[in-house]
Structure 1
Amino acid sequence: MKLSIFFSSVAHRKIYLRQSLTRFFSSSATNYYEKPKGFYSLYQKISPIGNPNASMLPILDNYVKQGRKVDKPLLVCIIIELKKYRRFKHALEVSEWMSSKAFFPMTVSDAASRIHLIYKVQGLEQVESFFNNISQHIKRDPVYISLLNCYANERCVEKAEDLMQKIKELGDVRNVGSPVFYKVMMNLYYRVGNYAKLDDLMNEMKEEGFNIDKSALSIRMSAYAAASDAEGVNKIVMMLESDPNLELDAITFTVAAHACLKVGLVEKSLQMIKEVERLTKSRKKKYEGYDALLHFYSKAKKKDEFLRIWDLCKQETIFNKAYISMMRGLMMFDDLESMENIFQEWESKGMPYDFRMADFLIEAFCRNGHLEKAEVLIEKGISRGGVPCATTWYYLAGGYITTNQLPRAVDALKKAISICPHDCPLSKNSLSKCVEYLESGELRKTEEFKSFLEKEGLFSAIVRDKLFQLLSSEENLS
Structure 2
Amino acid sequence: MRLQSTINVNGMLEAEEYFEQLCTALKKAACLPLLCGYVVGRDTEKAEALMLKLGGLGLIVNPNSYNEMMNLYMSTSEFGNVPLVVQQMKKNKIPLTGLSYNLWMNANAKLSWFGLVEMVYKEMLNDKNVKVGWSTLSTLDGIYTKAGLVEKGSFALRIADKTVKAVAGRIPYTNYMQILLCLAKLGDIVEAERIFMEWECNCFRYDIRVSSVLLGAYMRNGMTEKAEALHLHTLEKGGQPNYKTWEILMEGRLKSNMDKAVEVMKKGFSVLQDCRWRPLDDTVIAFADYFEKHRNIEDANWYIRVIHLFGFASLTLYKLLLRMGLSAQRSASDILKMMEEDKVEIVEDTYALVQAFKV
Coarse TM-score class (shorter-chain normalised): 0.5 to 0.7
Among all aligned residue pairs of Structure 1 and Structure 2, give the percentage whose two residues are the same amino acid.
13
Q: Does 1:355 align with 2:238?
A: no
Residue type of the partner of 2:3? V
Residue 297 of structure 1: aligned partner:
183
Q: In 2, are the aligned partners of 1:362 and 1:374 still within 8 Å (CA)? A: yes
**Structure 2 CA distance for partners of 1:316 and 1:393, relative to 1, 3 Å:** closer
| Distance apart, 1:167 and its partner CA | 0.5
TM score, norm. by length of structure 1: 0.50
Deviation string, structure 1 residues 188-240 (Cα, Å, up to 9, x no partner): 44455544322222223333442333322111222344455543332222111
| Distance apart, 1:288 and its partner CA | 4.1
Q: How many residues align?
A: 296
Residue type of the partner of 1:376? E
| Distance apart, 1:259 and its partner CA | 4.0
Residue 51 of structure 2: aligned partner:
168
Residue 116 of structure 2: aligned partner:
232
TM score, norm. by length of structure 2: 0.64
**Larger RCO (CA within 8 A; separation ≥ 6):** 1
Does the residue aligned with 1:267 lie in a helix, a strand or coil?
A: helix
**Structure 2 CA distance for partners of 1:307 and 1:170, relative to 1, 3 Å:** same
**Structure 2 CA distance for partners of 1:135 and 1:247, relative to 1, 3 Å:** same
**Structure 2 CA distance for partners of 1:476 and 1:176, relative to 1, 3 Å:** farther
Unaligned runs of 5+ in 1: 1-105, 116-128, 153-158, 415-436, 445-469
Residue 440 of structure 1: aligned partner:
341
| Distance apart, 1:275 and its partner CA | 1.7
Q: In 1, are the aligned partners of 2:249 and 2:261 still within 8 Å (CA)? A: yes
**Structure 2 CA distance for partners of 1:368 and 1:276, relative to 1, 3 Å:** same
Superposition RMSD on alpha carbons, in Å? Answer: 4.1
Q: In 1, are the aligned partners of 2:80 and 2:107 still within 8 Å (CA)? A: no
Residue 180 of structure 1: aligned partner:
64
CA distance in 1, matches of 2:133, 2:64: 18
| Distance apart, 1:257 and its partner CA | 4.8
Residue type of the partner of 1:108? L
Q: In 2, are the aligned partners of 1:287 and 1:313 still within 8 Å (CA)? A: no
Residue 267 of structure 1: aligned partner:
155
| Distance apart, 1:409 and its partner CA | 0.9
Aligned to 2:4, which of 109, 119, 142? 109
Aligned to 1:136, which of 11, 17, 22? 17
CA distance in 2, matches of 1:282, 1:292: 15
**Structure 2 CA distance for partners of 1:371 and 1:440, relative to 1, 3 Å:** farther
Q: Does 1:204 align with 2:88?
A: yes
Residue 343 of structure 1: aligned partner:
231
Unaligned runs of 5+ in 2: 21-29, 290-302, 313-337, 355-359
Q: Does 1:243 align with 2:127?
A: yes
Q: Does 1:277 align with 2:165?
A: yes
Q: In 1, are the aligned partners of 2:137 and 2:159 still within 8 Å (CA)? A: no
| Distance apart, 1:171 and its partner CA | 1.9
| Distance apart, 1:357 and its partner CA | 6.4
Residue type of the partner of 1:137? Y
Aligned to 1:314, which of 181, 190, 197? 197
Q: In 1, are the aligned partners of 2:242 and 2:271 still within 8 Å (CA)? A: yes
What are the equivalent positions in structure 2 for 1:136-155 lying under 5 Å apart? Answer: 136-138=17-19, 140-152=30-42
CA distance in 2, matches of 1:394, 1:472: 29
CA distance in 1, matches of 2:93, 2:276: 49
Which structure has the larger Rg?
Answer: 2
| Distance apart, 1:326 and its partner CA | 0.8
Does the residue aligned with 2:41 lie in a helix, a strand or coil?
A: helix
Residue 453 of structure 1: aligned partner:
none
Q: In 1, are the aligned partners of 2:184 and 2:217 still within 8 Å (CA)? A: yes
Aligned to 1:330, which of 186, 196, 218? 218
Q: In 1, are the aligned partners of 2:98 and 2:130 still within 8 Å (CA)? A: yes
Q: In 2, are the aligned partners of 1:225 and 1:259 still within 8 Å (CA)? A: yes
| Distance apart, 1:107 and its partner CA | 0.3
Residue type of the partner of 2:106? S
**Structure 2 CA distance for partners of 1:352 and 1:336, relative to 1, 3 Å:** closer
